Amino acid sequence: MSSVKDRLKPTRLALARLRGLFPKVRRIQEGTDRLLFEITPHDSAEAKPNDSRYCPLARALRRLADIKTAAVARTVVYVIGADPTIATRYLIPRALRIQRARFDRSKGEKKIEPGQYHLQPPSPEATLKSMLRRNVQTQQQPRQPSGYGGRSRIERVVGNF
């Protein structure tokens, strides 16, 4: 049986990484609505490659009225609003992920196209709670023996000599 600590691993890991950037954050909540924003040419020009707080997405999101700061990971964005203890989690659409990866790999030479973009709230299968549920289910299933009769292939070959 797995311990409570192991079962909370996806949530704890995300929160620990986020608290490394924003020490006041105590809780992560899932976004509920799409978040619309606009990336301008200035955002790409002033952004820093490979820096989650100063990438073009984070710069564009900080211009929105109710957002104080944002941290951009590879597939998700954590947005911090008026309450600095709560981070809201959104998913980055595939097209924007590709542009952002190209921006980081080229060290800022290839800019993200200016325009209107959106962040998606996680689907029910992509929430931290569902990842936690899947983690618990996989840990509780008994492990299947490997190979023939529960022995590895090497044991069978060695045993036949």
What mean pLDDT, rounded, does the chain reach? 78
One-letter identity of residue 124 = P
Please tell me whether residue 70 adopts helix, strand or coil conformation: strand
**78 pLDDT more than 60:** yes
Residue by residue, DSSP assigns 7-60 as: HTHHHHHHHHHHHHH-TT--EEEE--S-EEEEE-HHHHHH--TT-TTSSHHHHH
Residue 67 predicted with pLDDT over 80? yes
Band of pLDDT at residue 160, cut at 50, 70 and 90? very low
Q: What does the pLDDT read at residue 133? A: 67
Which domain does 96 fall in, by range? 4-159
Kindly give, in sequence order, each residue whose CB lies less than 8 Å from that of residue 85, ignoring residues fewer than 6 positions away. Answer: 24, 25, 26, 27
Read off the pLDDT of residues 86-123 as tens digits, 9 standing for 90 and up. Answer: 999 999 999 999 998 898 888 878 888 999 999 998 87
Supply the pLDDT for residue 139. Answer: 54
- pLDDT the model gives residue 155: 44
DSSP string, 80-100: E-SSTTEEEEEEPPHHHHHHH
Residue 41 pLDDT > 60, yes or no?
Answer: yes
Instruction: Please list, in sequence order, all residues whose beta carbon lies within 8 angstroms of the beta carbon of residue 131, skipping any fewer than 6 positions away.
Output: 10
Q: What are phi and psi of 104, to 5 degrees?
A: -70, -45
Q: How many domains does the chain have?
A: 1
Residue-wise pLDDT for 119-158, tens only, equals 998 877 767 766 666 665 555 555 555 554 544 444 444 4
The pLDDT value given to residue 93: 92
Residue indicated by tokens 């700061």: 69
